[in-house]
Amino acid sequence: MGQQPEILKISRGVASYKIDDHFAILGLAINTDVTQMRKKFLKLAKILHPDVANYSDVEKELATNYFAKMVSPAYQVLNSDRDRAEYFLTLRTLAQGFKQKPPQVELQSAAARQFLQYPNEGNYMKAINEIAGLQYRNLDKVLDYTAELSELNLVYLMTQEMGGQPRNAGESDFHREAQDPNALKVQSGLQMAEMYIGKKQWTEAMRELKVLEKIAADNAKVHALIGLVYMNQNLAVMAKTSFQKH
107 and 9, same structural domain?
A: yes
> For residue range 172-183, what is the model confidence (pLDDT) as tens digits?
343 444 445 567
Q: With the CA atoms of 56, 62, 66 and 67 taken in that order, what torsion angle do they form, in degrees rounded to the nearest 10?
A: 50
Per residue in 144-183, pLDDT (tens digit) is 999 999 999 999 999 986 554 444 433 434 344 444 556 7
Cα separation, 25 vs 130, in Å, equals 14
Residue 53 is predicted with a pLDDT of 64
**Residue 14 has what DSSP assignment?**
G
SS3 for 58? helix
Mean pLDDT, the chain, rounded, equals: 82
Examine the domain organization and report whether 87 and 169 are in the same domain: yes
- Residue 91 shares a structural domain with residue 116: yes
Asked which of 115, 148, 175 is the last residue of a domain, the reply is: 175
Q: Are residues 88 and 168 in the same domain?
A: yes
The model scores a pTM over 0.85: no
Q: Are both 143 and 215 inside the same structural domain?
A: no
Instruction: Please tell me which of 75-84, 141-150, 229-238 the model is most confident about, judged by mean pLDDT.
Output: 141-150
**Across 69-73, 75-79, 100-104, 120-124, least confident range:** 100-104
Same-domain check for residues 104 and 151: yes
- The pLDDT assigned to 132 comes to 97
Give how many domains the chain has, as a whole number.
2
Which CATH number fits the domain that encloses residue 226? 1.25.40
> Among residues of the chain, what percentage have pLDDT more than 70?
83
Backbone region of residue 174 per phi and psi (left: phi > 0; alpha: psi in -120 to 50; beta: other values): left
Pair 61, 14 in one domain: yes
pLDDT confidence of residue 93? 86
- What letters, b where the CB count within 10 A reaches 16 and e where it falls short, cover 213-241? beebeebbbbbbbbbbbbbbeeeeeebee
Q: Are residues 169 and 191 in the same domain?
A: no
Helices (H), the chain: 22-26, 34-47, 57-66, 72-78, 81-100, 110-117, 121-132, 142-159, 175-179, 183-198, 202-215, 220-232, 236-243
C-alpha closest to that of 226 among 57, 215, 74, 244: 244
Domain encompassing residue 184: 180-246
**Position 38 confidence tier, pLDDT thresholds 50, 70, 90:** very high
Note whether 77 and 171 are same-domain residues: yes
